[in-house]
Amino acid sequence: MFRSRAKEEKTPAADKAPVNFSKQPRDPQAPKGRPTPKRSEAQAQRRSVAQTPTNRKDAAKRQREERRAALDRQRQALAGGDERYLPARDKGPVRRFARDFVDSRFNIAEFFLPMAVVILVLSMVRVASLQNIALLLWLVVIVLIVLDSILSAVRLRKRLAERFPDQNKRGAVAYALMRSLQMRRLRLPKPQVKRGERP
């Protein structure tokens, strides 16, 4: 007489519910069909929760450590050529091909710094003939670098069009020319091809 109507409505529905006759036995300790996590997984999860920073100072410290670790990974990738951790400007097959193209040949631009030092030393000597030679050398070096860079850019653009017709090649030639200005041993990512080796 005083029973709630909700209970009366629930009981027939419960009786009519289909019984699950699955042949696969269910682990009685697993809640809602999900297996209990292994102890190592549970401990790792507890540790991650425990290591969550509670204030801004700890959060900033942790962020600095993560940034330092990411930079370390990036530095190792630049030294070893691991594509996963390279900076965005060095990633992708187009940029890799541009690097290999530059590294496989002699570039006049890479000898600019040593030649510049020699020319500066000559220009500081108080002999008029040596100063004239230094000035002439400056002009010759600059013209040679410009001509070599133009030739490299034309060849690289052609090779990129052949090798990667459907990919975005924007900025790859400029990237290669900037790399050619650096001495080979100072280049990052480190060269992966030998001189004369076809990329």
Give the 3-state secondary structure percentages of the chain, helix then strand then coil, rounded to 5.
65, 0, 35
| Amino acid type, 23 | K
Q: How far apart are CA 42 and CA 40, in angstroms?
A: 5
Q: How far apart are CA 45 and CA 16, in angstroms?
A: 41
Average pLDDT over residues 9-36: 55
Please give the structure tokens belonging to residue 77: 């990738």
Torsion angle (degrees, nearest 10) of CA 142, 146, 148, 152: 150
Give tens-digit pLDDT for 57-86.
888 888 899 889 888 887 887 777 777 778
Task: Check whether 14 has a pLDDT greater than 80.
Answer: no
> Measured between alpha carbons, how far apart are the two ends of the chain, in Å?
90
Q: If you ran DSSP here, which 8-state letter would residue 195 be given? A: T
